Copies of this chain bind each other. A is one copy, B any other.
Amino acid sequence: MTPDWIAVDWGTSNLRVWAMGPDGIQDQAQSEDGMGRLARDQFEPALLALIAPWLGAGVVPVMACGMVGSRQGWHEAPYRAVPCAPLDAGEGVSVPVQDRRITLRIAPGLKQVSPADVMRGEETQIAGAMALGAQDGVICLPGTHSKWAQISAGEVVSFQTFMTGEMFALMSEQSVLRHGMAGDGFDEAAFDTALSDALSRPEKIAARLFALRAEGLIAGLPACTARARLSGLLIGIELAAARPYWLGQAVTLVGAPAISALYARALAAQGLTAQVMRATDCTLAGLTQAMRLETSQ
């Protein structure tokens, strides 16, 4: 059954596609053909490799979001400047394709001039979260590059990116700290203590990191404690710098379940109950919203 349209989430590392029909998802597929590993002429074949089984005689519209629209992607979709709605009618960028069975649009990312910031893909998740019921307030999207976005009257008013996830990966897998990080388990009490310490004394962060290695060497610090403390310290300095975004605000977390749970725990320790939504649900709801905006024109 040919889908009504195809939803595409195309990030740096992964490509995910959904065949969408009148009753929602008909089928889905994914590959590791992320933007980061493709040359410009490899994008259309990578997409067709996943969606060709769904195509028939007609023309199926495809709506994509994410790094596929970056300057190094398939086709640049220039950033829209905040304050603005996360997605808007007529803003999807039409991309020329070879295959006549599809048309393609890419949802543009957002930019903030000062302080300088950018997002690609998260704008679609934010629109999806709003479509799924997120109220005005703040949406936090934890991950490799965590984003905090202030939402008012349906618009993204301001946002701020933190490299927390990428720093955790670099420090736990590539720095000298990696020696004491291998293994399973997660010491929640150590996470809580490190988070509290980093939040209350963020100016000490540079003095806290090497101690994870030193305690491993001279005091037998377990890996599950070291990893949890590193996570708590890094999320703690993110929360310290993002304080204006969450203090006294209604916060919605949009992320993968494990990382959202950590952020929810961290916010709960500050007396704040965050609403939690799954990133994938929000992406799909946002792409649906983008499709609706284009066809309603």
Contact = CB atoms under 8 A, between A and B. Distances in A.
B203 A241 contact: yes
A211 B116 contact: yes
Given A175-B163, A203-B240, A210-B163, A217 B170 contact: no
A59 interface: no
Contact of A214 (B117, B164, B170, B175): B117
Contacts of A205: 202, 205, 237, 241
A156 to B, nearest CB: 15
Contacts of A217: 71, 111, 118
Interface string A157-181: 0001111101100110011110000
Interface string A182-223: 000000000000000000001111110111011101110000
Interface in A260-278: none
Contacts of A163: 175-177, 206, 209-210
A170 B175 contact: yes
B118 A218 contact: yes
Q: How many copies does the complex hold?
A: 2
A292 interface: no
Given A145-B176, A161-B214, A170-B170, A204 B241 contact: yes
Contact of A174 (B174, B213, B234): B174
A113 interface: yes
A145 B241 contact: no
A242 interface: yes
Contacts of A123: none
Interface string A91-117: 000000000000000000001110111
A162 B207 contact: yes
Interface string A134-150: 00000000000100000
Given A111-B218, A175-B170, A206 B164 contact: yes
A163 to B, nearest CB: 5
A79 B207 contact: no
Interface in A43-70: none
Nearest to A161: B210
Contacts of A9: none
A210 B146 CA distance: 10
7 contacts: A111-B217, A116-B211, A118-B217, A164-B206, A170-B175, A203-B241, A207-B241
